[in-house]
Every structure is written in C-alpha cells, then in structure tokens.
C-alpha cells in the first residue's frame, strides 16, 4: 500500500540509512530492556513478597511465642507477686515476733538484772533466818548439831556464789563453828535412852505393899537306919518298932516346922520410914508408878531442853519416890536406882555460845548495801 507523501516532510533533510538502523535497534532494545526490568522488578517483588511473607510468618511465630512467654511471664509474675505478698506477710509476722522477742529479751535482761541485784539480798535474808532459828534453838534447847548444820549450810551457800564481799561473813561463820566444835560432848541421846529404860522397868518393880514373906525351905527328912551285917542283925520286931518311931518323928518334925513357919508369917518386924507405903491399895499402887513415870518424863524433857535445875529436881524426887514406895532390896529396883544415879551425874550446866558474830556480820552487810 503506498503511503501518501507528506509535503512537509519533503522539505526536511533526508537522514542517513545507518542512523535509521540505529534508531530502530534502539527502539527494539528499549522494550526488551523495559521487559527485562519489569521481569527483574517482578522477580524482586516476588522475592520481596516471599521474604516478607517469611518474615511475617516468623514474626507471627515469634509473636505467638512472645505471647506465650508473656502469658507465662505474667503467670510467673502473678505467682511471684503472691509469693512476695506471702513472704511479705511472713516477714511482717517475723518482724512483729522479732520486736516481741526483743521486748521479751529486754524484759528478761531487766528481770535478770533485778534478780542479780536481789539474789544476794535473798540469800542473805535466808541465811539470816536460818541462823536466827539455829541461835534460838541453841539457847532454848541446846541443839548444837542443828546449829552446826545451819552454819555449814550457810557457809556452803556463800561459797557457791564465789563473791569476795562475803569473805567477812564466812570468817564470822567459821569463828562460830569453831566455838561450837570446842564444846564438851554431851550425849543427850544416850542419857535420854537410859531414862527411857528406867521408865520401862517401873511397871515390873516391886512395891513395899506387894512384898510377901519367903516360903520356908523344906528340911531333909531323916534317913531310915540301914540293916546291920550278918552277925549283928537285930530281931524283926525291933526293926519294925524303929521304923514306926522314925515315922512318928518325921510327922512331928513336919507339923512343928509348919506351925513355926505360920507363926513367923503372922508377925514380921521391919524398919520402914513411911508406914503408909505398906498400906497402898491396888489403885494407889497404879498412881504411885504413874507419878514416878511422870517425874522421869519431866526430867527427860528438862534434859533435852538443857534445864539443869528442873532436871536435877525431878531426878531427886524420882529417887525419893523409889526409896519411899518400892522395895529397895529387890534386884530390879537396885538396877533402876543405879541407872538414875548414873544419869544424874551428867553435867548439863554448859554455857552455850551464841551465833551473834555470824548474825551481826550478815546484818551489817545488808545495811551497807
């Protein structure tokens, strides 16, 4: 098909053929390059899209993992918060208990200080009370063993505290101990046992009113004459007469002896200072024995209380009652009298020392404090 020539173009200069070919190649290359560029851009877009999808998936996975971790973290945080609250509550309880324990410790320390301050006062008060009681017993009853025990216990109490302030008190206690140990030994228990033995024998002691005359001793009967030997034998009638004669003599001797014994029992002569002692009735016998027992019991009490005057007065009265109402020829009465004389010979007039040194030392120490 023939193209109509443009009159305007006819006036333009004609280009060369080479330039026209170059332009055509350039026109062909431009779409190709553009297509390649598009392909590259498409490939880049696809790669970017794929990579972006991967990134999104990775991001989503990581976000899910982060959410799980976040949930676990929140759970752990909540658990930690609960534990923290519980621990805080326990800490508060412990702090309150610690404060309470500190208060108790302070109170105990204060109490211990008070006790440490008053312990010596209590100890000294107890020692003073014990020594005062021991001193009273020593003066009233002469209880030397009790006073020794009290002093030794007081010295032991003071030595256990191991304080130099108590040296003066222990020195006074040692002085009183030496005084008590230097006293003569008086066996009060042995003397009391002798008195108890004498009291126990009173019921078996014979009274003057109970005395009976002794029975006469039987005299040996005469033996019958023996038969003579052969050559000197007497006749049978003479032997029978001799036997009858001996029998008559025996009968007469027995009758006369009994009559003489009865006569001796009818009348007895004896010197008695108190005739009323022979006329005591059974009831009066009982009261005589009981009065003697009471005398000896009073003497025993006076012995234990170291009352020498009352002791000797009762002992003398008891011996006088024995000599007045009891048969002093009886062996048991003589034994009791000897026992009472032995007891009466004991010396009770021993001046007892006082525990004034120990008591004054304790009281002076309490006043200085």
pLDDT at position 230, please?
44
The whole-number mean pLDDT for each consecutive block of 10 residues of the chain, a chain of 369 residues, reads 46 52 69 80 83 83 83 85 87 87 83 70 83 82 80 86 80 88 77 89 80 50 46 56 79 77 55 53 78 91 82 90 85 90 78 81 78
pLDDT at position 294, please?
93
d(CA 292, CA 200) in angstroms, rounded, equals 11
Pick the CATH number of 62-183+352-369 from 3.30.300, 1.10.101, 1.20.58, 1.20.120: 1.20.120
Tell the burial category of 34 from Cβ atoms under 10 Å away from its Cβ (0-12, 13-18, 19+).
exposed
pLDDT at position 296, please?
92
* Angle at 20 (CA atoms; ends 17, 23), nearest 5 degrees: 155
Q: What six digits make up the tokens of 158?
A: 């003071």
Buried b (16+ CB within 10 A) or exposed e, 136-175: eebeeebbbeebbebbeebbeebeeeeeeebeebeebbee
Q: Where are the domains of the chain?
A: 62-183+352-369, 186-214+276-350
Q: What is the dihedral of CA 135, 138, 140, 141, to 10 degrees?
A: 150
* The model scores a pTM over 0.75: no
pLDDT at position 281, please?
64
Residue matched to tokens 């022979």: 278
């Amino acid at each position: 098909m023939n193209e109509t020539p443009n009159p305007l173009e006819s006036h333009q200069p004609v280009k060369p053929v080479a330039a026209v070919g170059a332009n055509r190649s350039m026109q062909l290359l431009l779409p190709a390059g553009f297509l390649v560029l598009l392909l590259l851009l498409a490939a880049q877009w696809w790669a970017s899209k794929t990579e972006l999808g991967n990134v999104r998936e990775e991001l989503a996975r990581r976000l899910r993992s982060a959410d799980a971790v976040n949930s676990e973290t929140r759970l752990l945080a909540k658990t930690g918060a609960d534990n923290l609250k519980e621990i805080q509550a326990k800490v508060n309880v412990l702090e309150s208990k610690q404060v309470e324990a500190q208060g108790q410790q302070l109170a105990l320390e204060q109490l211990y200080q008070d006790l440490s301050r008053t312990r010596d006062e209590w100890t000294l008060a107890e020692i003073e009370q014990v020594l005062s009681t021991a001193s009273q017993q020593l003066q009233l009853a002469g209880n030397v063993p009790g006073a020794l025990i009290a002093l030794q216990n007081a010295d032991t109490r003071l030595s256990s505290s191991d304080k130099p302030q108590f040296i003066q008190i222990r020195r006074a206690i040692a002085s009183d101990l030496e005084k008590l140990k230097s006293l003569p030994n008086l066996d009060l228990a042995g003397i009391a046992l002798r008195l108890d033995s004498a009291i126990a024998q009173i019921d078996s002691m014979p009274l003057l009113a109970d005395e009976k005359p002794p029975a006469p001793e039987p005299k040996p009967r005469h033996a019958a004459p023996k038969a003579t030997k052969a050559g000197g034998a007497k006749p049978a009638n003479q032997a029978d007469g001799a036997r009858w004669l001996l029998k008559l003599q025996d009968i007469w001797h027995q009758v006369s002896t009994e009559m003489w014994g009865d006569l001796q029992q009818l009348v007895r002569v004896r010197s008695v200072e108190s005739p009323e002692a022979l006329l005591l009735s059974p009831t009066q016998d009982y009261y005589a024995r009981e009065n003697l027992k009471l005398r000896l019991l009073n003497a025993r009490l006076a012995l234990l209380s170291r009352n020498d005057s009352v002791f000797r007065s009762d002992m003398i009265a008891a011996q006088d009652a024995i000599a007045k109402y009891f048969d002093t020829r009886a062996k048991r009465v003589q034994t009791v009298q000897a026992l009472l004389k032995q007891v009466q010979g004991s010396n009770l007039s021993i001046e007892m020392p006082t525990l004034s040194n120990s008591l004054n030392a304790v009281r002076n120490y309490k006043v200085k404090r």
